[in-house]
Structure 1
Amino acid sequence: MGKGFGELCSILSALAWAIGVMLYRQLGARLPPLQLNFLKNAMVLLMLLPAIPLLHGLTLPAFTAMQIFAAVSSGLLGIGIADTLYFRALNELGAGRMGVIGNSYSPFVIVLSFIFLGERLQPLQIAGFVLVSLGVWLAAWPRPGQAPRPAHAVRGFALALLAIVLMAISIVLVKRVLEAQPLLWVTGLRMLGALAGMVVIAMLRGETALLTPPTVGMPWRKLALAAFVGQFLAMVLWLAGFKYIQASIAAILGETASVFILVLAWFWLREPLGRRAVVGVGLTLSGVSVMLWAR
């Protein structure tokens, strides 16, 4: 792939995820986290079934047993468990606070990539990381009086942080598999791991009834849109970014999702955009520019 393709995928993934978060926030008011996560991932698997042969053909890739284990485990941790925890935290904290906590994702990936993948950031890339992180903090941190303190702030923070740690572990776990195998096949294996993990979780918790959609008032259209944009497109682009560039760089560029959420809320929902948020957006875009120039 050409220079800049992986970076473009990471940024577009952040935009798709930002749109998805807005839809998931609305869906979360009607569907429990486990049910929402299972149904949207089941939809994504149905989308992958025709996409895999269209893009990669019908020839089965030569996966090793270790690669299959890594991909399935990555899906179990990063989608099955982490996304369920993320939706629970999103319901309790709201999108703004989740955007701030989500800023811890790239440092976790950077540390894990340094330890397990041997990745190193160049000085300019470190400068870009600092600008992106500072911009996201300024843009996403709730203004005084903007939102009431959540009733379960500590629990929500713990769930959000655990979700982000599991996401970071899952992507580092599957990074080498992504480099060696076709993108959508790896995506499909991750999704199978996620769905199997959620079935086990539901059985252990005695909540298997949540794996079936409600018979009345099910928002199918909004769920399908959220699954396609916020999961299918976001995940494929996200994994493509990690496939073609360093995991550390892809994670940093993915932080722009918080800024996209802020701008979309201003444009789409007519939420106010303060001066601090504008400065944050500018810093984030500057950091992204530095990251791209460093390439």
Structure 2
Amino acid sequence: MWPGGKVGIGEAMALGSAAAWAVGVILARQLGAHLPPLTLNLLKNGLVLCLLAPVALPLYAGAWPSMPVRELLLVLASGVIGIALADTLYFRALNELGAGRMGVIGNLYSPLVLLLGFVFLDERLGGLQWLGFLLVAGGVLLVSMPARMRAVRPAHTLRGILLGVLAIALMAIAIVMVKRTLETQPLLWVTLLRLCGAMVGLLFLASLPSMRQRMHFVPGDVAWHRLVLAALVGQGLSMVLWLGGYKFTSASVAAILNESASVFLVVLAALWLREPMGRRAFAGVLLTFSGIACMLLGRATP
């Protein structure tokens, strides 16, 4: 319980989403070698939809949530923009730039959500929360900035940067556009509708001749058990917690706490995969968790 009797469930869900996403990345880190970006995106979201629908639909059978047509279209569009388009562009940019550069570009996410929340949702941060934002941003930057950038062709660098920035911007737009709907509608229902929109968008992309040529894979090379676990944890659980964070707290606070995913990934890699954690990464972890503490204390202050 926070002072004043307020439970920070939104902050807890935002942090849980970041941790679940990091676990999913650890589970799925070898899948990209055998599955093209659009194929991986389609399979993961298809699996989550097949598992979530039998859980969510019986909960609302005979009493479907009342949702205005405008809000329904916004949720479906959010799935197309934030999952079908943004995730596919993100995976493409990842191939162009590598994880280090994309980690740096990913730092644009919370500032964009803060800006959009300020303009469209009339959200404001307190002084302690701004300090938390700066600490989290600095910590994530330390963790994600590679010690040495691998040389790539300038054309690929520019194209990758543009794709990466566009992907992050679409993610921010997609969540802010459904923030008000999330506050009034059941969480699983919005998640299910958003996934339906995403699958429509992904199937449309997959139907394009130019995209079909890039979706080929050898089934025998895919670790299917790893794909299922990655979909359940890194996609399904992470998505429900991610949307829950935006439902129960402000978009600005949720976005900042989501940034801790990069730090959770470094910590899990050190504990789970025994990967070394350098001094800079360790300093980034300390900065990030200090920023999280400021965000939570700022939330708790009456």
Question: With structure 1 as the length reference, what TM-score do the two structures score?
Answer: 0.93
Secondary structure of 1:115's aligned partner: helix
Question: Equivalent residue for 1:13?
Answer: 17
Q: Output the CA distance in 1 between the equivalents of 2:47 and 2:12.
A: 25
Distance in structure 2 (CA, Å) of the matches to 1:87 and 1:79 = 11
Structure 1 gap ranges (5+): none
Q: 1:276 to 1:206 in 2, by over 3 A?
A: closer
**Matching residue within 17, 30, 35 for 2:34:** 30
State the Cα distance separating 1:97 from its structure 2 match: 2.9
Q: CA RMSD in A?
A: 2.0
* Pair 1:253–1:247, CA change in 2 (3 A): same
Letter in 2 for 1:181: Q
- TM-superposed deviation, 1:240: 0.2
How many residue pairs were aligned? 293
Deviation (angstroms), 1:209: 7.1
> Is the counterpart of residue 190 in structure 1 residue 194 in structure 2?
yes
Is 1:241 paired with 2:245?
A: yes
Percent sequence identity over aligned pairs = 54
Give 1:86 shift. 1.3
* 8 Å CA contact retained: 1:108, 1:165: yes
**What is the rounded CA distance, in whole Å, between the counterparts of 2:12 and 2:108 in structure 1?**
21
1:267 counterpart residue number:
271
Q: Which moved more, 1:127-136 or 1:152-161?
A: 152-161
TM-aligned CA deviation for residue 213 of structure 1:
7.0
Alpha-carbon distance between aligned partners in 2 of 1:88 and 1:26, rounded to the nearest angstrom:
16
Report the alpha carbon displacement of residue 234 of structure 1 after superposing the two structures with TM: 0.5
What does residue 131 of structure 1 align with? Answer: 135
2:137 is aligned with 1:149: no
Instruction: Flag the 1:90–1:228 CA change in 2: closer, same or farther, 3 A.
Output: same
> CA, structure 1 residues 216+37, in 2 after alignment: closer, same or farther (shift >3 Å)?
same
* Alignment match of 2:294 (pick from 274, 290, 293): 290
Please report the TM-score for the alignment, with normalisation by the length of structure 2.
0.91
Distance 2:285 2:137 in 1: 11
Tell me the alpha carbon deviations over residues 270-290 of structure 1, each in whole angstroms, 9 at most, x when there is no partner.
222111111111111010000
Partner Cα separation in structure 1 for residue 216 and residue 182 of structure 2: 32
> Could you tell me which amino acid in structure 1 is paired with residue 107 of structure 2?
N
Aligned ranges 1:1-295 → 2 under 5 Å: 3-53=7-57, 59-144=63-148, 148-151=150-153, 152-208=156-212, 214-295=218-299
Distance 1:24 1:150 in 2: 25
Change (3 A) 1:212 1:86: same
Letter in 2 for 1:115: V
